[in-house]
Every structure is written in structure tokens, then in C-alpha cells.
Amino acid sequence: MNGTPTPRTDAGLQPERTALAWQRTAISFVAASLLFLRWATQHGRLVVVLVAGALATATWTFFHTRTRLRRVAHHFPMPGLEPAAGEVLVVTTATAVLGLAAVWVTLAS
């Protein structure tokens, strides 16, 4: 254990795995929005707003992170890449809002 960092030998697989994870996240938002459509007749506009918000988040997540990760993959072996804190914050907030809305819609039904 000499404390020296080991060189990165994975030139492209880590950004590809990260891109696939963000794509799965976007797909899960689409699936969640489709599940909310079940309550559209009972709760009207609120569900429509939630579905639109989830679809907007899915679209933004898919295209924004795809563009960002394309840039990161180009410079991947270089140290000092900034983490995707903004993307994580947006997805976490949207997930919390959808979760609270799902609890409310379920209990109100």
C-alpha cells in the first residue's frame, strides 16, 4: 500500500455503463408516468401534471445525460471530471415528488 493511484485501464466501459444507468432511469420515469395514468379519471389535472412532469424529467434525463456523457467519454481517462450533481439533484427531487404523489393518490382512491 504505497498510496499511489492505480492507472485507469478501462478507457470507455465506465462511461458506457453510466450512460446505460441514466437511460434506465429515464425509462423508469416513463413507466412511472404510465402507471399514474390509471388515476387520471379520478384525480384529473393533478395526474396530468404529474405525468407531464415525469415525462419531461425522463426526456431531459435521457438527452442531457447522453450529451454530457458523450463529452465525458471523450476526456474520460483525465482526472478532475466533475460529478453529475445537477442531474442527481433533479432526478432525486422528481423521484421524491412522484413518490409522495403516489402515496397521496393511492390513499385518496
The DSSP code sequence of 77-103 is TSS-PPP-HHHHHHHHHHHHHHHHHHH
- Percent of the chain beyond pLDDT 90? 12
Asked whether 57 and 94 are in contact (CB, 8 A), the reply is: yes
- Is the predicted pLDDT of residue 98 greater than 80, yes or no? yes
Residue 96 — very low, low, confident or very high, per pLDDT cuts 50/70/90? Answer: very high
Predicted TM-score (pTM) of this structure:
0.70
Asked whether 43 and 108 are in contact (CB, 8 A), the reply is: yes
- Is the predicted pLDDT of residue 7 greater than 70, yes or no? no
Nearest to 52 by CA among 107, 89, 97: 97
Tell me what the pLDDT averaged over the chain comes to: 80
Q: Which residue has the higher pLDDT, 10 or 97?
A: 97
CA distance 41 to 36: 10
Contacts of 14 (CB under 8 A, 6+ apart): 76
CA distance 47 to 8: 46
Instruction: Express each pLDDT in 72-91 by its tens digit.
Output: 766 665 666 677 788 889 88
- Is the predicted pLDDT of residue 71 greater than 80, yes or no? no
